[in-house]
Structure 1
Amino acid sequence: MMALKWIGSMLVLFSAGGFGIWSARQWRERLRLLEKLRQMIYFLKGEITYSHAPLAEALERVGKRETGPLGKLFTAAAEGICRQEGESLQEIWRREVQALSSPKIRLPLTEEDLEQLAGLGEHLGYLDVDMQERTLKLYLEQLDISIEYLRTNQREKCRLYTSLGIMGGMFLVIVMY
């Protein structure tokens, strides 16, 4: 009977500690994804501004540079534009961004991140090059704010999540005894 208590205590301790470590990893992964997204938006801005590529072509080129879910977002949006099924770019972009939040993909982006990304599509495609460039610059400023917050708080938040997970597990073990 005592062995079962010890085994249960260890399971609680390891699972709570594991949850804390997982939360810290999610923080770092969100930072990495937002930095990758910022890089892709810079590429898109360059494609639109300097090479004057049509939006579908620019989205496809940028999407092919990244193999992950963000690259699929850009290529799927380009394919949606090329299909010409009567949908506006806003509808196509919002649908593809919502696909990123599906449980199957499991990106560590917050609802706010996804809303800002979906909002980007509302102003692309139907404006002139200058307005598209300004829209991309505005989105890049929002991304920079989020990235700066994540960078400045990364060390303390990751340490906090890990410590809270382990300490919470210890607390539960003590309460169970």
Structure 2
Amino acid sequence: MLKLLGAVFILTATTWTGFEIAKIYIERPRQIRQLRAALQSLEAEIMYGHTPLHTASGHIARQLSKPVSLLFQAFSQRLEQGSDSAKTAWEQSLKHNWPSMAMKKSEYDVLKQFGETLGLHDRVSQQKHIKLALTHLEAAEADAGRAQAKNEKMVKSLGFLAGLLLILLLM
């Protein structure tokens, strides 16, 4: 009876681990889509609403779910404090919130490069930089979708099968 209970615990733990690792493959495309939507909203706020950057970021943060909303919320708060330039506020917000995101370094580089141009140009130039970032994020989203299709089910199955293997080795 004790062996059976131990086997159930091992199988549950390894299966849960597989599902947790697979969550990264599920979250990455979703978060990239949210970032794309956020940048499109930012473009609209800047171009058509003539909204200040801190106000636009606050509006966008309220429309998104965590952890992407936290990035824009932190950016908005840093801008409202007035102590940072838009570039510095974006970089600090990105560094602070990046560990909670399921994205890779390539997305970080795109967002950091985007932050380099924030608040430095007129509206038309800013729109071009937003469109460039959107193009890069679109390619990253396609890559993330391929990785999800390729790896999600495998990682989940691997967690379960690793538990079965461990049980067999211990019995």
TM-score category, normalised to shorter length: 0.7 to 0.9
In the alignment, structure 1 residue 26 sits paired with structure 2 residue 24: yes
**CA-to-aligned-CA distance 1:17-76 (integer Å, 9 cap, x gap):** 111122222211222121111111110011112223332232222223235332232233
Alignment of 1:42-121 (within 5 A): 42-85=40-83, 87-102=84-99, 106-121=100-115
Q: SS state of the match for residue 9, structure 1?
A: helix
Tell me: CA distance 1:67–1:161, structure 2 relative to 1, closer, same or farther (3 Å).
closer
Match of 1:41 in 2: 39
Runs of at least 4 residues off by over 6 Å: none
Structure with more helix by fraction: 2
Deviation at 1:165, TM superposition (A): 0.9
Aligned partners of 2:168 and 2:66: how far apart in 1? 43
The TM-score with structure 2 as length reference comes to 0.86
Aligned partners of 1:68 and 1:167: how far apart in 2? 32
Aligned partners of 1:151 and 1:70: how far apart in 2? 18
Aligned partners of 1:126 and 1:138: how far apart in 2? 16
In the alignment, structure 1 residue 134 sits paired with structure 2 residue 128: yes
Q: Aligned to 2:153, which of 143, 152, 159? A: 159
- Unpaired stretches in structure 1, ≥5 consecutive residues: none
2:38–2:60 CA contact under 8 A, matched in 1: yes
- Unpaired stretches in structure 2, ≥5 consecutive residues: none
Return the letter of the residue paired with 2:93. Answer: E
Tell me: CA distance 1:5–1:115, structure 2 relative to 1, closer, same or farther (3 Å).
farther
Aligned partners of 2:130 and 2:72: how far apart in 1? 14
- Once superposed, what is the RMSD of the aligned Cα atoms? 2.0
Q: SS state of the match for residue 145, structure 1?
A: helix
Match of 1:6 in 2: 4
Q: Which stretch has the larger CA shift, 64-73 or 21-30?
A: 64-73
- The alignment-based identity, stated in percent, is 25
